[in-house]
Amino acid sequence: MSQPLPRPLTCAPSPRAAPPPCRLPRRSVRGRRRSACRPPTRPTSRAARRVPEVAPHRVPVRTQVPFRPAARGFTVAEILAALLVLGMALIGIAALYSQSAHTPQQVDPRARAAELAQAMAERIRANTAGEAGYATTIGIDCNPEAQAATAEATAVQETACWQEEIAKTLPNGQGTITRDRSTMPPSIVIAVSWSAPGSGAASYVTRVTLAAPAATTST
C-alpha cells in the first residue's frame, strides 16, 4: 500500500506592518492642498520650483469696415450745371477786366488841371497870329482831322479839343480862355475848373502874356 504523501507545512502569514498614519492636510506655501496620504515633495533646485508660463491665448479681433457706397459717375445734368457756373464766372471776370481797362487811372485833379493849362499856354505861344480864335470858341466840336485854312481856325480847333479832353479827364471839368486887355501888353487867361465829390469846386489859372504890337512909323 502506498503511503500518503506528507502534507506541506504552511506558515502562518506574518502580519504586515501598519502604514504610517497620514498627516492632516495642510496648505502649502503656494496655497495648494497636499494629498492626505502622500508625503510632500520638495523641489531639489530653484529651477525646478519655477512654473512654466503659458502664453495667453489671443482671440483675433475683427475690425468692422464702414460701409461705403460704390462710386458713381457724374450725370449729364450735373455736368451741364458745372459748365453753366463756370461760364458765368468767366463772363464776370471778363466784364471786370474790361471795365478796369477802360476806366481812367485816378490822378490828382490839380496836377492834371495844371498839365492841361500849361499845354494850352504852349499852343497859344506857338500860334500868336491866331490868338483871337482861342477866346471865341463856343459850340465847336473837336475834329482833329480837319484841315484849318487860317491860324485863327487852327486856334478854334485846338481850343475845342482841349475843352473836350478836360471834360473827359476831370470830374465836372471845364476849360475857359479869355483875353485881358487891361494889362500892357495884353494877356490871355487860361482857367481849368473842376468839382470833385467831397472836395468841392477848385480851379487852376495861368496867364500867357502876348507880345506888344510893333510901333508903326509914318512918313
With beta carbons less than 8 A apart as the criterion, state whether 172 and 195 touch.
yes
State how far the Cα of 195 lies from the Cα of 202, in Å rounded to an integer.
Answer: 6
Longest dimension (CA), the chain: 229
**N- to C-terminal Cα distance for the chain?**
229
Q: What are phi and psi of 23, to 5 degrees?
A: -75, 150
Q: What is the pLDDT of residue 98?
A: 79
Mean pLDDT of 142-154: 81
Q: What is the pLDDT of residue 50?
A: 62
Predicted TM-score of the model (pTM): 0.48
Burial 65-92 (b: 16+ CB within 10 A, else e): eeeeeeeeeeeeeeeeeeeeeeeeeeee
Model confidence over 58-98: pLDDT tens digits?
Answer: 666 666 666 565 556 678 888 999 999 999 999 999 888 87
- Ordered by start, the domain boundaries in the chain are 76-105, 109-209
Model confidence over 163-195: pLDDT tens digits?
Answer: 999 999 998 899 999 988 888 888 899 999 998
Q: What is the DSSP letter of 162?
A: H
Among 178, 175, 177, 181, CA closest to 163: 175
Q: What is the pLDDT of residue 180?
A: 87
